[in-house]
Amino acid sequence: MNLRHYVRDIPDYPKKGITFFDITPILSTPKAFRYVIDQLYEKYKDSGADKIVAADARGFIFGAPLALKMGIGFVPIRKPGKLPYKNRCVTYDLEYGSDTLCMHVDAIEEGDKILMIDDLLATGGTAEGMVKLIREAGGEIVGAGFVIQLSFLDGDEVMRAADVKHDFLIEID
């Protein structure tokens, strides 16, 4: 299946000069959505992961059903003020600003094997923030899966520098 066909390019969003790669067409097409989850499952079913960590909000869309299919736990990483329990947080840079991610302090235990899932790897800021939160909690990252990787940005380098093996389903040059 050509997944790129199901990704809509939206120029100048969220600000001028940025192209937003919209995964909504994947989600609105059950065959494409199922294909994404199945492909991620095939890549990571033998990873040894105990939990999937995904970032608010589009990472949840892929991380939660994948965790269910793999029979493992799901850990949401959210923006400040969105989680009701005690949090640990990290601020990171994006291609168009900065943001902060938070996770419950008890979401990951020392030695948990973690699979990171997100919709997009661009500059790597969100992924780097996730890596910091996971490692601060004592988690061991066994891999990171992305639906889309923007190869013209530095996310790939950021993942290598963080010593995190990652993969993707769609590469956009």
Q: Mind telling me the catalytic residues?
A: 58, 95
Q: Could you identify the residue written with the tokens 């990571």?
A: 44
In 3-state terms, the chain is what percent helix, strand and coil (to 5)?
A: 30, 35, 30
Q: Could you identify the residue written with the tokens 């997944």?
A: 3
Q: Quick count: other Cβ atoms within 10 Å of Cβ 123? A: 18
Q: Could you identify the residue written with the tokens 């923030």?
A: 129
CA of 98: how far to CAs of 61, 79, 157, in Å? 22, 12, 19
CB within 8 Å of 126: residues ≥ 6 apart = 55, 92, 94, 99, 101, 118
